[in-house]
Amino acid sequence: MKKFIKYISIFVATLTMVSCGDSFLTLKPLDILTDANFFLTESDAQASLTGIYAILQREETFSNVRDAADIEWAMAGDMYEMDGSANRIELHSLSLPSNNTILRDVYQGAYQGIGRANIVIGRVSKMENLDPAVKANIIAQAKFLRSLFYYRLVSYWGGVPLITEELNASSNLEIPRSSAAEVWALIEADLKEAAAVLPATWADANIGRATKTAALGYLVKAALWQQKWADAVKYSEDILATNAHDLLPKFRDVFRETNENNKEILFSTQFRTSVDAEGNNLVKRTAPRGAPSAYTGSAAWSNFVPQKHWVNAFEKDASGKIKDSRYWDVIIGPGEAHQDIAAFVMPANVPAGWSRTGYIVTKYWEAPALTNSGVNTPVIRFAEVLLNYAEALNETGQSQEAMKLVNRIRSRAGLTPKSIALSKEAVLDAIFYERRMEFIWEPVGAFSDLNRRGRFISFVKANRPNVAELEIDKKPWLATVPILFPIPREAWDKNKALEQNPHYTF
């Protein structure tokens, strides 16, 4: 992985590529690289591919900041955002205006990735002196990455402009929205082609690239969104048939920088410790502000902290002690020691500046960070594969088999297996409970999964203590199934062919 990410760093330092989304659909002629000076060798093709991977590292794409924290877990209400900035308050209060800057950045970042992917797919396919197998592999990776960005767009906004070819300064940029069904069709086509070509694993020098199982994993997720239950079962079984993945015995080991790209990871965004863009701010965003720098490193912001009502949802023993090892592996609360920094103990009375709730998530903080952190951010891992498979099995009349998969997750957490003779609805509840306790501060398990099953509002009403303040019944956009975000105002400013989602205005 370190060799692979080195190429990202080298490439991004010199890259000036045209993109359909660098400012939504605004292009500059000087951005265009011509076939006369690039896309001549395999090295050129690989460098262009690396430029797509680089987009994943941005906070607005797949770094577990804008997506996992700002949107997924804060909107569901299980994480609290210490900053209290206006754009974050708009999201976790479920107000969702079209000028929200976080939603704007996520939308824009996805199109930046799509733009780079389209360049690679179009230009590499025309390279005559490239080995056919190498060409097919590069294009397959680019199509996987393009599907990842479109998956993000369609799951948040529904139908969006469907762009599959390179745009330049002479292109018509007034592009209307395609239907959600058309976007899902492209995602499925890209993922099927990728799964047919990509390897299940890579040699060490290329670990971190897209794999067959990652493509199959997203085919499952796409099928769940569309309630294609039989397809979700099939693709899940295809993943299991590779024998490439398994649960790690200890939950905390999944997230360690010293153990990244382990057997539980199907795909993650790659980072390395550095002062440049190849590192991330996750240690800084995790460690409690005001705590000694010997434990936190160069900065500590405690941006995102778990809510007490989420902590209270953990199963407890007869004495009232939490028995779920997932808590003890990645959470610290009042009077509790850090899992890897034994000398750091949270005060019995946690200062509000450290954490307004008294708790800190330590998934991405295993040591002080003197520069930007190199910890990878999981995008899809095997625990999700099992729960996705269980959900599909439950919908195809195989609830007992589904509960066996749920119990694999529970067993790793040190919990007593649940009965496999539960009703279909009880099995679905069990699946969603494990999602909630397993994936805190990951891009799954919260808003999007609840939303695709129409469970988000009922979850919020049952679990968010401030539900009365949200005035849900006065926000008609929350009555749609699924809930869609507003098309960003800045996108419409540049593309007047866009139509707004129901109940929003530009």
Q: What amino acid occupies position 346?
A: M
Would you list the domain boundaries of the chain? Answer: 2-245
CA 214 to chain CA centroid, nearest Å: 13
pTM beyond cutoff 0.75: yes
In the predicted model, what is the mean pLDDT of residues 123-135?
Answer: 97
Identify the pLDDT of residue 5: 56
User: Does the pLDDT value for residue 412 go beyond 90?
Assistant: yes
Cis peptide before 482 (omega within 30 of 0): yes
DSSP classification of residue 261 = S
Coil, helix or strand at residue 163: coil
Identify the pLDDT of residue 274: 84
- C-alpha R_g of the chain: 22
DSSP classification of residue 207 = T
Sign, Cα dihedral of 210, 52, 106, 307: positive
Instruction: List alpha helices for 95-228, DSSP H.
Output: 101-124, 132-157, 180-197, 212-225
Bridge partners of 305?
80
Coil, helix or strand at residue 263: coil
In the predicted model, what is the mean pLDDT of residues 188-197?
Answer: 98
Q: Which helix (H) or strand (E) holds 81?
A: strand 79-81
Largest CA distance in the chain: 72
Q: Judge contact between 402 and 391, C-beta under 8 A.
A: yes
CA–CA separation, 117 vs 19, rounded Å?
9
In the predicted model, what is the mean pLDDT of residues 399-424?
Answer: 98
CA 497 to chain CA centroid, nearest Å: 29
Identify the pLDDT of residue 21: 35
In the predicted model, what is the mean pLDDT of residues 217-229?
Answer: 99
pLDDT bin (cut points 50, 70, 90) of residue 405 is: very high
Identify the pLDDT of residue 37: 74
Q: Mind listing the pLDDT tens digit for each residue in 2-51?
A: 555 544 544 444 444 433 333 333 333 334 455 567 899 999 999 999 99
Q: Mind listing the pLDDT tens digit for each residue in 353-388?
A: 999 999 999 999 999 999 999 999 999 999 999 999
CA–CA separation, 115 vs 105, rounded Å?
15
Identify the pLDDT of residue 25: 37
Architecture of domain 2-245: Alpha Horseshoe (1.25)
Query: Phi and psi (nearest 5°) for 268?
Result: -145, 155
CA–CA separation, 422 vs 390, rounded Å?
13
CA–CA separation, 243 vs 263, rounded Å?
10
User: What average pLDDT does the structure give for the chain?
Assistant: 93
Coil, helix or strand at residue 345: strand
Identify the pLDDT of residue 107: 98
Identify the pLDDT of residue 24: 36
Range from 34-43, 117-126, 280-289, 378-387 carrying the lowest mean pLDDT:
34-43
Range from 27-36, 50-59, 123-132, 457-466 carrying the lowest mean pLDDT:
27-36
User: Does the pLDDT value for residue 64 go beyond 60?
Assistant: yes
Query: Phi and psi (nearest 5°) for 65?
Result: -110, -75
Q: Which two tokens stand for residue 82?
A: 């210490």
CA–CA separation, 230 vs 243, rounded Å?
21
In the predicted model, what is the mean pLDDT of residues 77-98?
Answer: 97
